[in-house]
Amino acid sequence: MPKSLIIANWKCNPSTLAQAKALFAKINQGVARQKKSKIVVCPPPVFLGFFTQKPGKIFLGAQDAFWQEGPFTGESSFNMLKSIGCKYAIVGHSERRKRGESDKEVNNKIKAALSVGIAPVLCVGETFTERENQKTPIVLRKQIQEGLTGVAKGRVGEVIIAYEPVWAIGTGNPCRPEEAMSMKIFIKKFLSQNYGKNISSKTKVLYGGSAKAANAGEYVIEAGMDGLLVGGASLKAKEFLEILKKI
């Protein structure tokens, strides 16, 4: 049985380096003996470089990165991330898409991540209105298709897809596990039709959106999601470690 992939997305938290180090240390200590999951922590970019030493069981991930280097004030490149030991990068999170990130930019980032050997975590998901208007399949198809444009077929399976319904993120109103499962099936079918069965079965599909200890088992064990992308609940070490125990 492959390990579940559990990714902690700290977003723009916590406020200080001391708090970030304390949170990381508690998680690191807590995961020392667990074997069922692969754990990735994505701290804010300014703290990333502090966690490169002996990460132990925790893999380091970025919340975003830029696809080029040079005169791009404020950005960090995938190469830079790689040089400090980052193995994963979230790409196209809805909180970035909401502020203008396009599918084209997401696509550039995915290609740049793959080119240096960082596994991109492509976030896809519909808004509440899109859902109400039965637009979910159209939205997902577009985000995946455009996100993967130009990616060599043989490498598509390295892209991790996180189904994150926008209306469920940070709301405490998670998507029903059956619904997440049907989205995973939809995504796999789409990949199978476009890239072949092999790629489809290789691709991990995670769930994200108000995931916590109380529902983690429903997504991973019952609904068969390949893992979770956890925001709010990853900021409390106890709750995050509890998630790992439930799956």
- Phi-psi map region of 233: left, alpha, beta (phi>0 left; psi -120 to 50 alpha): alpha
101 contacts 147 by C-beta, under 8 angstroms: no
* Residue 201 token pair: 């079965």
Among 210, 213, 216, 240, binds ligand PGA (CB under 6 A): 210
Residue closest to 211 by CA, chosen among 245, 169, 183: 169
Among 229, 237, 243, 247, binds ligand PGA (CB under 6 A): 229
**Total chain residues near ligand PGA (CB under 6 A):** 13
| Closer residue to ligand PGA (CB): 107 or 210 | 210
Q: How far, in Å, CA of 68 to CA of 113, rounded?
A: 11
| Closer residue to ligand PGA (CB): 199 or 205 | 205
| Closer residue to ligand PGA (CB): 110 or 199 | 110
* Residue 195 token pair: 């890239």
Q: How far, in Å, CA of 146 to CA of 148, rounded?
A: 5
Q: How far, in Å, CA of 23 to CA of 114, rounded?
A: 29
Among 37, 41, 232, 244, binds ligand PGA (CB under 6 A): 232
| Span 44-83, contacts to ligand PGA by CB under 6 A | none
31 contacts 40 by C-beta, under 8 angstroms: no
Q: Answer yes or no whether residue 160 interacts with ligand PGA by CB under 6 A.
A: no
Which range binds ligand PGA by CB under 6 A, 110-118, 145-153, 204-212, 216-224? 204-212
Q: Min. distance of Cβ 7 from ligand PGA in angstroms?
A: 8
Helix segments in the chain, DSSP class H: 17-31, 45-48, 78-83, 94-97, 103-116, 128-132, 136-147, 177-195, 197-202, 213-217, 237-245
Query: Site mask, ligand PGA, residues 117-156, x = CB under 6 A?
Result: ----------------------------------------
Among 231, 237, 243, 247, binds ligand PGA (CB under 6 A): 231
List residues binding ligand PGA (CB under 6 A): 9, 164, 169-170, 208-211, 229-233
